[in-house]
Structure formats: structure tokens, C-alpha cells
């Protein structure tokens, strides 16, 4: 007991204990945590309109909003959440209680629209311009008029319930961020097609982040990485996302142009002031369904608001066009052609009464297809969402090529975490036994085990504090750092115990000699890891960073404390 008191009073041991306390606070463990955390909220979904917000990608895991119950049904895990969601009825009211607030929302019905072989009259609005004299001055005003048109009759059927728009995962029990290898998701490495400046790279990264956020994805990492040859890459990591969907979204340059007679009238980005995504100004066109031999087609529409300059360019491009009348409808001789990444995606007729007019709210349309009607609708909605995202965020300044893509199943990630924890405990126990067999002294084996555990806790605390992801590479780095720590502790123990037969050395000289060897190994490790840290992309960089942080903690915090502990335990 007296030796334990003496150990606790040692300055180097006090420093270690203080670091351990800060690490535990940063990790903030709560193994009894229940519920599901909100990973993302889809824009314009029921959950979004109810006021549930997307979490910040940089927020600590334990600060995420956690769902506790839904309609008073306890939500303890993902299975409880999905069981509740599957039982929802159309237009059912849902009360979601979280650790922050209570929200009320309504489950939207999933509709199927069938086009009948009948017609009906509907009132449609049309924008016209008319001249009016005010105080002797002729001014032109826009006026909306209503008229009756014959349209195919449709029948709407409720076929299910729409998703409420939440992406969830098991509520985190610590602030340690798991990499994609451990929680599932998609990792993509992109390369610019041409050399770009650092300013252009910043624009690309900012645009990608905005594009992914607009698409409804969170828990994203977008950063620049490089190699030893000076090539620049962009690393994108997204938790819980579909690989093909993400790859398609971020690899497209997203250059959107609307042309009339080969003349660009507006582009995605600055020319687009707003994009309608819900309500009567966006959705599937009831008259846009078609049946063909291999399946179905359908069409979507949404309204955009143009800048005054873009509207002026459109008026200039249409003022000299001829008017063509077909089947009782009058159109201009040239169409509004929509191009995405230089590929024609649609061509829209321009009504004759819009000739030379500055239209600020044109309607954009497109289509989708599938083997079944439902598949066609899903493909159509997916295409609409992607096009809306690109119109909102604008195009990238350079085309990106996919160098590498990797998808990880969350099921495999959970199994890996369990196995990694089990193997770590077995390895620590094995090291302790081997050390005891080597020295035959518990005064050496127990401090070695304590120091190993301390180094692991310090590295995990540091990772939680700086928001650094723990993945397979990081775990490998932790193993390397802990392994070098055991080597150094054996060197210290050997030097101390050798002194029993060599009276020329005092304790300070013994430890000084041991730490001379340790510092040499530390510098060698840091020099070896530096190129990987600077030039590594993806997993290699994580391995280097973890190893360097681990050996730094070991040399300056845990190993001096270990030396102080065994010095006190072995002294007579």
C-alpha cells in the first residue's frame, strides 16, 4: 500500500492519470445507450417538414439527436424503428420523441396514377402579355388567364405509404467515430481530368459537399489527398450510402445548359435562383405515363426560377423564331433543349405566346423507365432529384474521374468490431503472460499491461477529440503503436533489472540508457511514417497518423510513467 501511494505521487504518473481522465471524458462512454440516432433527413420529406434537422457532419456522435419513442412505442434499436415504419398507414399521424424534442408529422400516401381512355376538361393557367396606357405611356404587363383544355382522364390509387425521410443508425455509445470499414458506407477516390489550381480544388470540394448535402446525405467526408508524385485526388467517404448512387452523383461534372437554336440561354448555378422540389410545382406528370413492350415510362416536371439576365437571354433567343401550328397547338419553330454534361436529356416545345417574352419560371421535364410501373416511377423520381441537385449546386469546374470505389456492408463492419475487441483482449492477456514468464515478476507484467491499456485509451480519446475516424488502418496503427510500446517497456525493464548485478549504474543512469534506445526507435518510426502521412490517400494515411500519434503518446506520457512505476516497485 505504501508503494502504491508513492507511485501515485510521482509526477510522471500524475500526468498519465490526467491524460487518461481527459481521454475518458472525450470518449464519453455510455454502454447502456438505447434508441436510434438520426443520420440524415431527406429534404421536403415528412420528417423535414416537421422540423427535424440534418445533423452537422462534424458533431460528436454522442451529441446526435436520438429517437426514444414513436407514438409512445419505445425505440431501442434499428429493428424497433423499422418494425414501426413498416406498420404505418397512409395519412397516419406520427409523434416522434427524441432526446431533444417531440415532433408531429403525417405519413404521406404512395400514389399510383393510371391514365384512362377518356378525356376531361381542366382549367389551366397561361401567362400572357398585354399593353396598357397609363398617363399617355404604353406599358406591357404580364397577366395570368385561365382556359379549359381537354386532357386524358386519370385515376389515382393509394398503393402504400411513403418513407418519412429519416436515415438512422444504432445510437452511438461513445464519441469514437467509426470509419466506413466498421459502420458501412461508400469510399470513392476521384481525380481531376486536368491539372487544376488549389483555388479550383477548393471550389470542387465545396461544390461536392453542397451537392451531397442537398441530395440528403450526411456523415460525409470530402477532402484533398495526394501522392509522392504530386498528383492531387479527392477522397469522399459517406456512411450508410448506396455505392452506385453516390458514384454517379459525384463523378458527374453536372454541367447543365438550356439551349435554343444552339444558343445557351441559361445554365445551372448562378442563372437558377430557385428550384421547386415539392407541392404542385414539382412531381410526376399524370399524363406522362407510357406503356411499351418491355415495360413502362413516366415523366417528371418541376418549375425553376431564372435570374433576370437569363430570362432576358431567353426572350432574345425566341423573338425572331417562326410559329408552327400542329393539331390545334401553336409552338415556336425551335425547341428548348436541355443538356447535362453535353448530352441532350430533353427537348421541350415553346408555346407561341411566349415568343420574345422574359419568362422567369420555366418548367423543366424529364423521364424515367422500368420493367414495372413502380420501377419507372422510382427511376423517374431519382432522375428528377439528381437534376434538381445539379441545378441547385451548379456544375463542377472540371470533370472528375473515379479512380477507386469501395462499398462496405454495415453487417460486416459490426462483426469486425466484435472480433477486433475480442482479439485485442486476447492479445493483451497473451502479452501479459509472456512478460510474466520472461521476468518472473508481477511488478513488471502488471505495469506493462496497465501501460498497454493506457496507450489504447489515450489514442481513442485523441481520436474522439479531433473527430478522427477509426477504421481498419487505424486499428492496425494502434496495434503497431502498442507493440512498439511493449518493446520499449521490455528495454526499460531489462535495464533496471540488469542493475542488480552492475552496481556502477544508479537508477537515473539505467533509465537514461533505456530512454536513449527508445528515442532512437521513436525518431526512426516518425521518419518512416512521415512520407505515408504526407502522400497517403485513404487507408495508408490513417495508418501513418495513428502510428505516429500512438508512439508519441507512448514516448512522452506512458513510458515515462511506466519507468516511474517499476522504479518504485523494484526498489528495496
From first to last of the 572 residues of the chain, give the pLDDT tens digit: 677 777 778 888 889 999 999 999 999 998 888 899 988 787 678 888 888 887 876 778 888 899 999 999 999 998 899 999 988 988 899 999 999 899 999 988 887 767 677 777 766 666 566 666 666 665 666 666 666 766 677 777 787 888 888 888 889 889 888 777 777 777 788 888 778 787 778 777 877 776 676 665 556 778 887 766 777 888 887 776 656 666 666 766 667 788 888 888 887 777 888 888 776 778 888 877 887 777 888 888 888 888 888 888 888 888 888 888 776 667 788 888 878 777 777 777 787 777 888 888 888 777 888 888 888 888 888 788 777 777 776 667 677 787 877 776 666 666 777 777 788 788 888 888 888 887 788 888 888 888 888 988 998 898 888 877 777 777 877 887 877 777 777 777 777 776 554 444 455 565 566 666 677 777 777 887 777 776 555 556 777 778 888 888 888 888 788 878 887 777 65
Q: Is 44 exposed, middle or buried (0-12, 13-18, 19+ CB in 10 A)?
A: middle
Residue 99 C-alpha cell reads as 432526446
| Pairwise CA distance, residues 451 & 481, whole Å | 12
- CB-based contact 466:521 (threshold 8 Å): no
DSSP H or E segment with residue 295: strand 295-306
Please count the other Cβ atoms lying within 10 Å of the Cβ belonging to residue 428: 17
If you search the block for the grid coordinates 425553376, which residue do you land on?
304
* Nearest alpha carbon to residue 222 among 202, 208, 242, 240: 208
Give the max Cα distance, the chain: 117
pTM for this prediction: 0.62
Please count the other Cβ atoms lying within 10 Å of the Cβ belonging to residue 95: 14
| Pairwise CA distance, residues 188 & 241, whole Å | 12
Q: 344 has which bridge partners?
A: 339
What end-to-end distance do the CA atoms of the chain give, in Å? 14
Q: 370 has which bridge partners?
A: 296
Q: How far is CA 171 from CA 2, 79, 106, 122, 362, in A?
A: 44, 12, 24, 50, 44
- CB-based contact 537:488 (threshold 8 Å): no
* Nearest alpha carbon to residue 271 among 237, 309, 229: 309
Can you tell me whether residue 544 is helix, strand or coil? helix
Residues 6+ apart with CB under 8 A from 373: 112, 289, 296, 298
Domains of the chain in start order, with CATH, are 2-29+409-570 (1.20.1640.10), 36-108+163-167 (2.30.42.10), 112-158 (no CATH), 185-252+404-408 (3.30.70.3400)
- CB-based contact 292:350 (threshold 8 Å): no
Long-range contacts of 142-151 (CB under 8 A, 24+ apart): 142/357, 147/123, 148/121, 148/122, 148/123, 149/121, 149/122, 149/124, 150/119, 150/120, 150/121, 151/119, 151/120, 151/121, 151/122, 151/287
DSSP H or E segment with residue 403: strand 400-408
Q: 291 has which bridge partners?
A: 296
Q: Based on C-alpha coordinates, what's the Rg of the chain?
A: 32
Task: List, in sequence order, the alpha helices (H) in 215-331.
Answer: 243-251, 308-318
Amino acid at each position: 500500500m505504501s508503494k502504491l501511494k508513492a507511485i501515485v505521487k510521482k509526477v510522471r504518473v500524475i500526468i498519465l492519470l490526467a491524460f487518461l481522465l481527459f481521454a475518458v471524458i472525450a470518449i464519453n462512454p455510455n454502454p447502456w445507450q438505447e434508441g436510434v440516432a438520426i443520420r440524415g433527413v431527406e429534404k421536403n420529406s415528412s420528417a423535414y417538414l416537421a422540423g427535424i434537422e440534418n445533423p452537422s457532419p462534424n458533431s460528436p456522435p454522442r451529441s446526435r439527436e436520438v429517437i426514444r419513442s414513436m407514438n409512445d412505442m419505445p425505440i431501442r434499436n434499428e429493428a424497433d424503428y423499422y418494425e414501426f415504419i413498416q406498420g404505418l398507414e397512409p395519412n397516419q399521424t406520427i409523434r416522434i420523441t427524441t432526446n431533444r424534442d417531440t415532433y408531429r408529422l403525417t405519413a404521406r400516401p404512395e400514389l399510383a396514377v393510371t391514365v384512362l381512355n377518356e378525356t376531361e376538361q381542366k382549367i389551366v393557367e397561361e401567362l400572357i402579355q398585354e399593353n396598357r396606357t397609363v398617363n399617355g405611356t404604353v406599358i406591357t404587363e404580364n397577366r395570368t388567364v385561365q382556359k379549359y383544355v381537354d386532357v386524358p382522364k386519370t385515376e389515382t390509387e393509394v398503393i402504400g405509404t411513403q418513407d418519412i425521410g429519416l436515415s438512422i443508425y444504432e445510437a452511438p455509445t461513445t464519441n469514437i467515430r467509426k470509419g466506413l470499414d466498421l459502420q458501412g458506407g461508400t469510399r470513392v477516390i476521384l481525380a481531376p481530368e486536368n491539372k487544376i489550381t488549389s483555388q479550383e480544388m477548393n471550389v470542387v470540394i465545396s461544390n461536392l459537399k453542397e451537392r451531397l448535402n442537398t441530395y440528403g446525405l450526411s456523415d460525409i467526408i470530402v477532402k484533398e489527398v495526394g501522392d509522392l508524385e504530386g498528383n492531387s485526388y479527392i477522397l469522399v467517404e459517406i456512411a450508410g450510402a448506396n455505392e452506385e448512387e453516390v458514384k454517379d452523383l459525384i463523378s458527374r461534372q453536372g454541367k447543365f445548359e438550356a439551349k435554343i437554336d444552339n444558343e445557351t440561354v441559361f445554365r445551372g448555378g448562378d442563372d437558377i435562383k430557385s428550384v421547386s422540389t415539392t407541392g404542385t410545382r414539382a412531381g410526376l406528370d399524370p399524363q406522362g405515363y407510357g406503356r411499351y413492350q418491355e415495360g413502362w415510362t413516366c415523366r417528371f416536371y418541376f418549375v425553376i426560377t431564372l435570374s433576370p439576365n437569363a430570362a432576358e437571354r431567353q426572350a432574345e433567343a425566341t423573338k425572331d423564331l417562326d410559329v408552327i401550328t400542329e393539331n390545334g397547338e401553336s409552338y415556336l419553330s425551335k425547341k428548348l433543349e436541355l443538356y447535362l454534361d453535353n448530352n441532350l436529356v430533353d427537348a421541350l416545345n415553346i408555346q407561341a405566346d411566349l415568343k420574345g417574352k422574359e419568362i422567369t419560371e420555366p418548367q423543366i421535364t424529364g423521364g424515367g423507365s422500368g420493367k414495372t410501373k413502380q420501377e419507372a416511377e422510382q427511376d423517374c423520381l431519382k432522375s428528377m432529384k439528381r437534376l434538381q441537385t445539379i441545378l441547385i449546386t451548379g456544375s463542377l469546374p472540371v470533370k472528375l474521374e473515379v479512380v477507386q470505389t469501395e462499398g462496405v456492408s454495415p453487417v460486416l463492419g459490426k462483426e469486425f468490431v466484435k472480433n477486433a475487441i475480442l482479439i485485442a483482449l486476447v492479445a493483451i492477456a497473451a502479452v501479459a503472460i509472456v512478460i510474466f514468464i520472461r521476468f518472473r515478476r508481477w511488478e513488471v507484467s502488471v505495469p506493462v499491461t496497465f501501460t498497454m491499456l493506457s496507450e489504447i485509451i489515450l489514442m481513442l480519446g485523441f481520436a474522439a477529440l479531433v473527430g478522427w475516424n477509426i477504421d481498419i488502418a487505424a486499428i492496425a496503427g494502434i496495434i503497431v503503436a502498442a507493440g512498439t510500446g511493449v518493446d520499449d517497456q521490455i528495454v526499460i525493464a531489462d535495464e533496471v533489472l540488469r542493475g542488480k548485478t552492475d552496481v556502477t549504474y544508479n537508477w537515473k543512469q539505467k533509465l537514461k540508457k533505456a530512454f536513449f534506445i527508445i528515442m532512437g526507435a521513436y525518431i526512426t518510426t516518425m521518419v518512416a511514417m512521415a512520407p505515408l502521412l504526407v502522400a497517403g490517400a485513404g487507408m495508408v494515411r490513417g495508418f501513418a497518423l495513428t502510428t505516429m500519434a500512438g508512439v508519441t503518446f507512448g514516448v512522452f506520457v506512458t513510458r515515462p510513467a511506466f519507468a516511474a512505476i517499476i522504479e518504485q516497485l523494484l526498489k528495496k
